[in-house]
Amino acid sequence: MAESKQLDVVVLAGGISHERDVSLRSGRRVADSLTSLGHRVRVLDPDAGLLGSLADRRPDVIWPVLHGATGEDGALLAVLETTGIPCVAPRGRSAGLAWSKPIAKELVRRAGYATPDSISLSTETFRDLGAAAVLRSVMTALGTTLVVKPAQGGSAQGVTMVDSASALPRAMVDAYTYADTALVENRVVGTELAITVIDTGHGPKALPAVEIVPRSGVYSFEERYNAGETTFYTPARVSMVIADEVADAAKAIHALLGLRHLSRIDFIVDEAGTPWFLEANVLPGLTETSLVPQAIEASGDSLGAVYEALARAAVASSAEIGD
C-alpha cells in the first residue's frame, strides 16, 4: 500500500461501560486527527448493527477506542478478528491477559520485574469467609497502607487509597461496585510515571515518560479528566538512568503481554529508584487530558502523524500475515 493512499477508518467509541463518556471523547480526538490528514473516518458505537455495518462498507482498518470491559477485556477484539479487518489493537487473547490486573501483575513478576505485593478477593470469598476475618488476614499480610482497586477496569474508578484499618471495608465496597474481584495492593510511595509504547512497524518504542502530580495527591477519575486538577511533567523529572530503565521495562512488558501498536504501561518509582509495575493499559485514553497525547507531543511528533502511522502499521502487518 502506498503511503499516500487515503485510508477508510472505522473508530469504535462509546460502548456500555462506566467509561463510555471518556471513550467517546477519545474516539472523537482520533477521528479528528485522522480526518485532518484526509482520511475517511466513521465513528461507530459497538451495538447489534456493528458487524453488518462493517460488512456493508468494509474499512481498511478499525481503531477501537473502547475503555472498560466493552473493549479491553478482549471479547470484542476477538470478534473483530473474525472479520479479517486490521485493527489498531492487541489480539483478544492478549487484551484479556492485560485487562486482568492480577494476571498481568503475576506475568510481570515472573519475568523478574517488581510489582507491589497484592491479594485478589472475589465477592464470594469476601462473603463466604466473613468480611471481618478476611480483612484482618489481609492487613496482617500487607499492612494498612494499601491501594484497593477493581481487578479489572480503568480511569481509576473504584480505586481507594487506604491508610487505616477502618477505611478498608468501605474501599472494598467501592471496588466491588465496578468488578466482582477486588485487588488489594501494598501501596508504594514515590513518583508516578506513565510510559506510552508505540509500534509503527519497527518494533516497540517508548515515548518520553509522563510524570503525574495530582493536586489532591491521588490520581482519581476527577484528576484525570478535569483540566487543572493534575500537573504533568513530560519528560518526567527523573534521572536518565531511571528514565531508561523504566522505558526498557515498559517495552519488555508490552511485548511480554502480547500487546500491539499502542499501550500505556504505568509505574511508580520509589525513593530508592526502583520502578514498580502497576498495570498495563490495552486501549489507553486519548482525550485532551490523557497521557498518551502528551507523550506523543513531547516526542516531537504530531498526534495526526502518529495515529496515521499506527493505522498504516496495522494494515501492513495484516497484509504480511495474509501473504
Q: What is the pLDDT of residue 320?
A: 62
First-residue to last-residue Cα distance in the chain: 13
Residues 196 and 294 in one domain: yes
Q: What is the pLDDT of residue 155?
A: 56
pLDDT of 73 strictly over 60: yes
Domain total of the chain: 3
pLDDT of 323 strictly over 60: no
Residues 105 and 207 in one domain: yes
Answer with the one of 167, 186, 205 that is the final residue of a domain: 186
* CA–CA separation, 30 and 47 (whole Å): 20
What would the pLDDT profile of 190-201 be if each residue is shown by its tens digit? 999 999 999 999
What is the rounded average pLDDT of the residues 207-225? 76
* CA–CA separation, 120 and 106 (whole Å): 11
Residues 42 and 101 in one domain: no
Q: What is the pLDDT of residue 1?
A: 39
Residues 64 and 178 in one domain: no
Question: What number of CA atoms fall less than 13 Å from residue 61's CA on the CB side?
Answer: 29
The rounded percent of the chain whose pLDDT value lies above 70 is: 93
What is the rounded average pLDDT of the residues 133-140? 94
Residue 159 lies in a domain: yes
What would the pLDDT profile of 279-322 be if each residue is shown by its tens digit? 999 999 999 889 999 999 999 999 999 999 999 999 998 766 55
Residues 146 and 74 in one domain: no
Residue 81 lies in a domain: yes
Strands 40-44 and 8-12: parallel
pTM as predicted = 0.91
* CA-closest candidate to residue 193, choices 211, 205, 174, 166: 211
Residues 211 and 125 in one domain: no
Residues 55 and 151 in one domain: no
What CATH number is given to the structural domain containing 109? Answer: 3.30.470.20
Cβ(150)–Cβ(183) under 8 Å?
Answer: yes
Q: Which domain holds residue 147?
A: 121-186
Residue 312 lies in a domain: no
Residues 111 and 218 in one domain: yes
